[in-house]
Amino acid sequence: MTIATRSKKQITVNIMSSAINTNKNHENTSASNSAKTTIIIGVIGADCHAVGNKILANVLGRLGFNVVNLGVMVTQDEYIDAAIEHGAQAILVSSIYGHGEIDCKGMRERCDERGVSDMILYVGGNLVIGKKDFADVKVLFTEMGYDRVFAPSDDLEEVAEFLTMDVENKQSANQQWIVA
């Protein structure tokens, strides 16, 4: 077994463990404000890797988020159309096949053009081809306008905590703007 194979298996085990633990620990609970939080998820571009996307929908749904799952091979405009239609607070973009750098470029600008410039944008997965330090990948996608960037091995409960915090911060900032 190669190191790459072991890494992929470990990532799968981490994701599955997170899904199982979330199910056990949060069966009858929800995140404080996440019950009101609608999120759009999907796999961008020509990527047709569906399993991780289904796990993400399952875990975040169990944590109380209203998840609209667009499935695979989703365009930027399909994400944005769904976000507008459902009044979503965040778009979570997945890419596993390594072409995220190409598929995700310009997403923030499209949000701006479509009138949802304050949309929270997350991206995660195997986002680039080749071996790059993930710190460099984070910088690349942050410069593209994504609010948070996640590796395939990141804990989904932590992703949910960040999402809840970012939505609350956005709502708080919007309320301050209205009051001022």
82-138 pLDDT tens trace: 999 999 999 999 999 999 999 999 999 999 999 999 999 999 999 999 889 999 999
Count the neighbouring beta carbons within 10 Å of the beta carbon of residue 56: 26
Amino acid sitting at position 119: M
Catalytic residues: 47, 49
Residue 68 sits at φ, ψ, to 5 deg, of -105, 110
Q: What number is the average pLDDT over the span 40-56?
A: 95
Measured between alpha carbons, how far is residue 133 from residues 32, 78, 93, 129 in Å? 35, 30, 20, 12
Separation between Cα atoms, residue 122 and residue 151, nearest integer Å? 11
Banded pLDDT at 10 (limits 50, 70, 90):
very low
Q: Give the pLDDT score at 178.
A: 54
pTM of the model: 0.80
Mean pLDDT of the chain: 84
Average pLDDT of the residues in 6-10: 45
- Please compute the mean of the pLDDT values over residues 30-41 and round it to a whole number: 69
Question: Which CATH fold topology does 3-179 show?
Answer: Rossmann fold (3.40.50)
Which of the four pLDDT bands, split at 50, 70 and 90, describes residue 29? very low
Ranges of each domain in the chain: 3-179
Assess whether pLDDT exceeds 90 at residue 17. Answer: no
- The percentage of residues in the chain with a pLDDT greater than 70, rounded to a whole number, is 77
More confident residue, 25 or 165: 165
